């Protein structure tokens, strides 16, 4: 007896079911990939913000601790005030006639003065004392002899003309008048000053011109912004106020209190 074998094809319903299952699996894989990628980008963004904030605090904090320093070998040198600050502006002018230039970023600025030597700064390749961006400093100040070199570092935050991104800048007297970027993403620098015996810290605009030598500590805060994300986010600003970002970029404030070491008088600063 002969048996006849016929080829049996898939029905349209089976094909539709297979397509639906394939689409479900594909959609799940895409959704998982998108979620994982988004989480990775948020984590990377947060890490970059944190690194920028902590780096800015470290750089400025170390310099604030140097304010007013004069090496032991320098005797009789009439050093200028270790600090001079600006509210919503960058320090300009000379040591004898300091001033402020307004910044559109709203950032504060600070000028830090001290006498550097081969121990307190990293020497250049030619052995010179260096400023905040590693530039060698030449001096003809006979009062210092060969024991030290006056260092003036001016810090502020501004928007880069080339990239459009906010950055922490420093203008060192190794090449005065030419500020160099140090940390990208620093949108604003905020400084408040503790005068000896004062009950609270004040802005630079509230410090009398003859009282900069009486600064005992500085409250330092930086606001750092990251890359754009899907929605606006809230953050605590330097005054402790919850604020919604004006754009899609996340922001975070980092702060620390820095006691000035090079003063003959000390004070207790309330926490």
Assess if residue 242 is contained within a domain. Answer: yes
3-state secondary structure 48-74: HHHHHHHHHHHHHHHHHHHCCCCCCCC
Model-level pTM? Answer: 0.81
Please give the distance of CA 194 from its chain centroid, rounded to a whole number.
21
Q: Is residue 8 part of a domain?
A: no
Q: Is residue 4 part of a domain?
A: no
Cβ neighbours for 265, distance < 8 A, ≥ 6 positions apart? 196, 214, 216
Residue 59 near residue 237, CB atoms below 8 Å? no
271, part of any domain = no
Q: Judge whether 9 lies within some domain.
A: no
Residue 125 forms part of a structural domain: yes
How many CA within 13 A on the CB side of residue 89?
15
The CA R_g of the chain, rounded to the nearest whole Å, is 29
Residue by residue, pLDDT tens for the chain (271 residues) are: 455 555 555 677 877 887 888 888 887 777 776 776 776 677 888 899 999 999 999 999 999 999 999 887 777 677 778 999 999 999 998 877 889 999 988 899 999 999 888 777 888 878 888 899 989 887 755 445 556 888 999 999 999 988 889 999 999 998 888 999 999 999 999 999 999 889 999 999 999 999 999 999 999 999 999 988 878 889 999 998 998 888 999 999 999 999 998 864 444 444 4
Does residue 266 form part of some domain? Answer: no
- Is residue 1 in a domain? no
The count of domains in the chain is 1
What's the domain range around 252?
A: 30-259
- pLDDT of 68-80, one tens digit each? 998 877 776 777 7
Q: Could you give the CA distance from residue 120 to residue 71 in angstroms, rounded to a whole number? A: 9
């Amino acid at each position: 007896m002969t048996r006849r074998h016929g080829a049996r094809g898939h029905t349209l319903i089976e094909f539709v079911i297979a397509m639906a299952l394939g689409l479900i699996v594909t959609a799940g894989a895409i959704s998982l990939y998108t979620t994982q990628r988004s989480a990775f980008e948020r984590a990377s963004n947060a890490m970059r913000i944190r690194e920028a904030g902590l780096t800015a605090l470290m750089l400025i904090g170390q310099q604030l601790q140097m304010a007013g320093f004069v090496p032991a070998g320098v005797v009789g040198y009439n050093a200028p005030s270790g600090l001079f600050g600006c509210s919503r502006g960058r320090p300009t002018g000379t040591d004898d006639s300091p001033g402020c230039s307004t910044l559109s970023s709203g950032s504060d600025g600070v000028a830090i003065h001290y006498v550097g030597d081969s121990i307190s700064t990293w020497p250049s390749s030619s052995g010179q004392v260096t400023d905040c961006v590693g530039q060698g400093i030449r001096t003809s100040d006979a009062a210092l002899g060969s024991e030290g070199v006056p260092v003036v570092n001016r810090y502020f935050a501004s928007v880069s003309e080339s990239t459009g991104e906010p950055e922490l800048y420093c203008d060192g007297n190794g090449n005065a008048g030419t500020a160099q970027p140090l940390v990208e993403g620093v949108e604003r620098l905020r400084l408040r000053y503790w005068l000896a015996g004062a009950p609270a810290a004040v802005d630079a605009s509230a410090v009398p011109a003859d009282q900069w030598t009486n600064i005992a500590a500085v409250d330092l805060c930086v606001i750092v912004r990251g890359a754009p994300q899907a929605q606006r986010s809230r953050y605590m600003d330097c005054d402790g106020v919850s604020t919604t970002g004006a754009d899609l970029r996340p922001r975070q404030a980092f702060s620390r209190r820095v006691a000035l070491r090079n003063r003959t008088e000390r004070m207790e600063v309330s926490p």
